[in-house]
Structure 1
Amino acid sequence: MNENTELAVKIADKFIEIHESDEGIEYSIFDSKYYLLDGGVLELEDTLGIPVYIALAEIIDFHDLPKLEMEKINYEDLIEKTVERELVLLEKLVQKSKPSLLEKISDFVNPPMQANETRNNSFEK
């Protein structure tokens, strides 16, 4: 972690991740379970001081976060936890989109009909 270009803090029950990028200062705000709540990019003019700390002050003011309950936390740990949360969400989405085994078997036994077909379930003698 580079303290001049990356920062992670906990404020009350929220986490803020800030880092410099080619576009400016990017930030993300997460809830206590690491779900993404908000984020954006700040374009800071030449400033006195470290840009990520100036960005933090602007983010706190813009989102009306409490100023007294701030704790600096490990940047890599926060990123790891948020990535894990995203992977869990992606896995759930993939599972929802996969047809169940029963649906697969049903489609195999009774293939989907075309719009102009009718299914005759009786056997001819």
Structure 2
Amino acid sequence: MAYKKDKYGLSQKEQLFCQAIAKGENGSSAYKRIWEADSAQANSIHTASHRLLKRAEIKLRISTIQKQIEAGYINKSISQAVKDKELVLSKLRSIINEDIPTPESGVIRSLELLGKTVALFENV
């Protein structure tokens, strides 16, 4: 029986296997779970997962998924950094505008920090 292949030349189970491996799951445990091979011998499961991992299209798909995962983490990190910066700047502005009760030295320090964010004090 021929299995339907996706645009990567992989069956649905092979695609799930690639995703599991890319996310760090062990080859044997991924194979056993996806192919529901609970009754199979450990050696058979290991051999089958090893064969899959040697195939070029499987290797390529795992690599592609890993890159997508890494890009997602980077995008999330950048997004979080932007949110953190906006929060800090908002708090500094609140201190400067006296929305948050702060001693005068704190207001001056807030002005200084806000000025540094726009390179106001750089030597020209």
Question: TM-score scaled to structure 2, two decimals?
Answer: 0.36
**Relative to total residues, which structure has the larger helix share, 1 or 2?**
2
**Relative to total residues, which structure has the larger strand share, 1 or 2?**
1
Greater RCO, CA 8 A, separation 6+: 1
Question: TM-score scaled to structure 1, two decimals?
Answer: 0.36
Give the structure with higher Rg (CA). Answer: 2
